[in-house]
Structures are given as structure tokens and as C-alpha cells.
Structure 1
């Protein structure tokens, strides 16, 4: 299989999606990871009201010229919750790419709000790229972020969420799958969770219809949503927050799906399945860094991607 580090380097510096020619057809997961492309985003959504998502963080690379690649949510004044594959894409040799920045407090990721850097990161220790599972991570801001009426952490819900629950996903980008260039305006998609067994079967059927391999859905660790054909998450929305519409608490993290809005479910990392990991992450940097370092030493591994780097 194509080395994922090489994939990340090509994407980050050339802003392209890798050709599938060098990857086994059965295990080519690039179609699902295209959520991190800057070219596509929420399909069939509506522009967010100003200040309605003060927790939303736009993750971008570059200085004068910025390239948006993932969303995230502010869960403390220093901690951004996002997808694990978003963190992995900007982490090389135990360090974050220096040009990585977050922007919060604006509906326009290219302007306004507060832009900040990062000094630490963690990916869930059991994150699997091959199966897109345990797909969550956290980024530690370089300094505490000053809260205002436009910048607020999102409350998390660790209650188990079932089917037919009204939810809202928020991200930056397109309102149509084929529109170009993508919008810089924050978009809301109002949708609902679906029954786990229905999700499993729908994903299997869609994969068969497309003639591709799809990761298995894990209902214990993933939430599925579906609105209708023409409405759904798409490339670039990875890491963004899924909220219950009644309590406005975050219950999921955009993880993977079939691009784009073709009538198949969207998959989100289930927040309630990772309470200990997330709560430990809120205690950054010293407590969680030391704990994860000890875990890695106990496993006799030198993999730096599962522990924090704090310069």
C-alpha cells in the first residue's frame, strides 16, 4: 500500500488527491479520505447565521496564502477536537507542520476571527487508517484563546445517541457537489441519525454499486446520518462537529463517507465512545502527555504519532 506519509506530503504541498494507480483496488481508501480535500464541502446545506457556531475552528496551512483542509471544534480554551486523520495529515517526525493554524470566531475561514498556532497534538492510540476507526484526535493551541460572544467552547454530550435524532453538522464549503470554487462561508446541514443496521446495509450496498471496498461501519463507535440524495457531508468537512439540535451539544465528529451526497449515509466518530480519551485531553499538556508517553514505553514502541509533542 502507498505509504501514507508520502500521501500526506503530496497533498499538503501540492493540494492534489493521490492517484489510485499505486494502491491496491481493494484497500484504496482515498475516496473516503477525500473529506480532507480543499475542493469540496457540505452539499445541500444553508449558510450559518453569524455567531451560531462560535466553537467551529477552521484548520488551514500556509501564511499569506492559506489552504483550508479540515474542521474542528473548540472544547476548551486550548483544545481543538477533530478527526484523527486530520491530525495525522499535518504531523511528521513527531512534530506538527509549522504553518498549521486554526481560525475561530468567524463564519468566513479566510478572514475575520482569531487565528492561532498549535504546540501539541494527539491521535487516538487505536486509530486505524486502514479501517478509518477510532478516528479522533486533539490539537493543543499555542496559548489560551480569549473567549468572546463569538468564540465559545462547545459542550459535549456523552449520552448514547440512537436513531431518528435531529442533528446539525456544520462545515465550510460548497452548497452543490459540482460548484467551483468552494465557498468560504460556514454551512449548516440539518439531518437525522439513522438505525445502525440500516446504515451497515446501505454502506455495503453503495460500495457494491460503486465497485469499491468500504470500511465496515462500527455502530458502537460511529454515528450514521442521512438526509436525502443531494444533501450530505463531502470532501473538506472532516473533523467538523455534529450537534444535537435540541441541546446543541456535540455528539459526533465528521469522519468518512461516499463523496458526495449520492444518497448514502455519512459516518461520524461517536463522542460518547471516547469519554476517557477526550476528558484526559482536556487536561493538556502535562498530564496527558506523560500518561501517553508511559503507555507507549510500556508497549515498547517508538511511534510518535500517538503521543503529544510539546516543544
Structure 2
């Protein structure tokens, strides 16, 4: 039984948590496409009560696959690429919410259905939006709240991202939720920086589309990495969700990290939420 679990986890991490099955070598995938928070800090208790840890494994072996945000009492929003293997591995998927420590406290939940954006493109990494539903509704509390959506177009704005992803290259994932305060870039600055980074770090990287993606940047040594895909980008001003962690260059190189832009997917997000 343990061998089966380990094999399933390895397959899931190779194709979902690392990002997307791009037309690239396995080495390139590991090097260039593995979102996680590096350089963040431990969150105070009760911070980001919308956060959901999407886990894979069983009571013996559990690993963080992705983050997500609770948007309805029985619905979690995350990245589409986090769910591409759900159908064949659903018996190993489960979640944790209501606590900043995914290992202890809070509530364990089971999933029963999922939605992936109909125009999700795993090669160009576009329309990276998905949902996974819970088997039953949860009760809100001080430590468990719904994420409010922001459907306004966001330019440059102070924001933050939280997640349980790796805190250093090839390190173990933390149990305690991490937060990194970042700044969103203007569409022009985002596109220019990604174009420049592509020529140095990732010649065949996807292009950035500011209409449907939003970039953030902190500094070298602080950014997304493995395990944080699907986590919510929150506006510091309004406290609302403005993005979903999607893809990144090699961890924390001082170049932009990419998120699916919430405002670009208003119709799709609302259509799924209305079903729950």
C-alpha cells in the first residue's frame, strides 16, 4: 500500500505541483516551473482565513500539492494545473483549512468534484483557473472566512501572497503558513521584465498576457516557488483576491511571478460559484 501511495505522490508532484507538462525536458520543468514562496515570514494566527491547503496522500504520508482560497462554503478556487490529475488520483486528494498550520488544528475536508477553465492551455500556461468542491459545507469562524473577489482591473498595487510552499530551493515545505508582501506591476512593466528575463533564464518561456495575467515582484530571494500554485494574491488596500498563483521562473531570481488575473475571469468564476 505504501509503495502505491509513494508512486501516486511522485506522479502528482511531477505533473501538477511543479506546474504544467510543458514541451520541455524533466530537468527544465524542475528548474523553471515550480511556484513556491521563498523569503516569506510566518503569518500571525488567524491571518488569511480564506487559505486552503490542497494535500495529496493519506493519514501516513501527506504532502502539500497546492494552495487555494475558500470562495463558497463548499468550494475552493485554485489553479487549473493543480487539478489536471484529479480524476485519476481523487482518492488521494484532501484538504485542510481553518488553521495557519496545515498539519495541526483546523478542519480536514474531502473533495468530490472539480472544474477546470474550458480554455485552459497547459503549453502557454494561460487561463489557469480551477475549482474543487467539498463533500459538505463548512462553518465559518474567526479562523475560516470566504475570500472576496475583486473584479476590477488592477495595475500597480501593494499586495500579499500566502502559501505553504518551499521556503528555499530543495527544502521541506513548512507546516506554518508563509506570507510575502509584494507589489503588482503595471502591464507594460510586467511584459518588459518577463521578455528580458526570458532571454536570460528561459528562452522558450510562455509570453505574459497582461489582459489575463498579473505580475508581482519583490526582490531577488523573495518570490513564488514549489507548492504555492493556486494560492491567492490579495490586495492590501481592499483585502480582496486579485490573482491566483500560476507560474514563475526559477525561484526568486528577482524577476516577476505570474498570477491568473481575477478580473479577466469574472464570468467564468461567477458561473461556477453560482452552482454552489
TM more than 0.5:
yes
Matched residue, 1:229: 220
How far does residue 112 in structure 1 lie from its aligned partner after superposition?
A: 1.4
The verdict on how the C-alpha distance between 1:124 and 1:31 changes in structure 2, with shifts beyond 3 A counting, is: farther
Q: Is the CA contact (8 Å cut-off) linking 2:12 and 2:85 kept in structure 1?
A: no
Q: Residue 89 of structure 1: which of 85, 88, 91 is its match?
A: 85
CA distance in structure 1 between the aligned counterparts of 2:129 and 2:231, rounded to whole angstroms: 11
Q: Is the CA contact (8 Å cut-off) linking 2:56 and 2:62 kept in structure 1?
A: yes
Matched residue, 1:130: 123
How far does residue 263 in structure 1 lie from its aligned partner after superposition?
A: 0.9
How far does residue 140 in structure 1 lie from its aligned partner after superposition?
A: 0.9
Cα distance per residue 1:170-196 (max 9 Å; x no partner):
101444x23632321101100101122
Matched residue, 1:307: none
CA distance in structure 1 between the aligned counterparts of 2:13 and 2:91, rounded to whole angstroms: 20
Matched residue, 2:19: none
The verdict on how the C-alpha distance between 1:24 and 1:162 changes in structure 2, with shifts beyond 3 A counting, is: closer
SS at 1:206's partner residue? helix
SS at 1:91's partner residue? helix
TM-score where L is the length of structure 2: 0.88
- In structure 2, stretches of 5+ residues that fail to align are 1-5, 16-21
SS at 1:204's partner residue? helix
CA distance in structure 1 between the aligned counterparts of 2:159 and 2:254, rounded to whole angstroms: 18
Q: Residue 46 of structure 2: which of 22, 45, 51 is its match?
A: 51
How far does residue 15 in structure 1 lie from its aligned partner after superposition?
A: 6.4
Matched residue, 1:34: 34
CA distance in structure 2 between the aligned counterparts of 1:16 and 1:192, rounded to whole angstroms: 29
Matched residue, 1:139: 132
Larger Rg: 1
Moved more, 191-200 or 74-83: 191-200
Q: Is the CA contact (8 Å cut-off) linking 2:53 and 2:67 kept in structure 1?
A: yes
CA distance in structure 1 between the aligned counterparts of 2:84 and 2:11, rounded to whole angstroms: 17
CA distance in structure 2 between the aligned counterparts of 1:15 and 1:279, rounded to whole angstroms: 28
Within 5 Å, give how 1:169-248 maps onto structure 2: 169-175=161-167, 177-178=168-169, 180-248=171-239
Matched residue, 2:3: none
Matched residue, 1:60: 55
Within 5 Å, give how 1:245-284 maps onto structure 2: 245-284=236-275
CA distance in structure 1 between the aligned counterparts of 2:78 and 2:12, rounded to whole angstroms: 20
Cα distance per residue 1:66-107 (max 9 Å; x no partner):
111100000010110000000113233xxx611211110111
Q: Is the CA contact (8 Å cut-off) linking 1:59 and 1:70 kept in structure 2?
A: yes
Matched residue, 1:166: 158
Matched residue, 1:297: none
Q: Is the CA contact (8 Å cut-off) linking 2:225 and 2:251 kept in structure 1?
A: yes
TM-score where L is the length of structure 1: 0.79
- In structure 1, stretches of 5+ residues that fail to align are 1-8, 36-40, 286-311
CA distance in structure 1 between the aligned counterparts of 2:155 and 2:218, rounded to whole angstroms: 16
Which segments of structure 1 move beyond 2 Å, counting only runs of 4 or more? Answer: 9-18, 22-25, 28-35, 89-92, 177-182
RMSD over aligned CA atoms reads 2.1
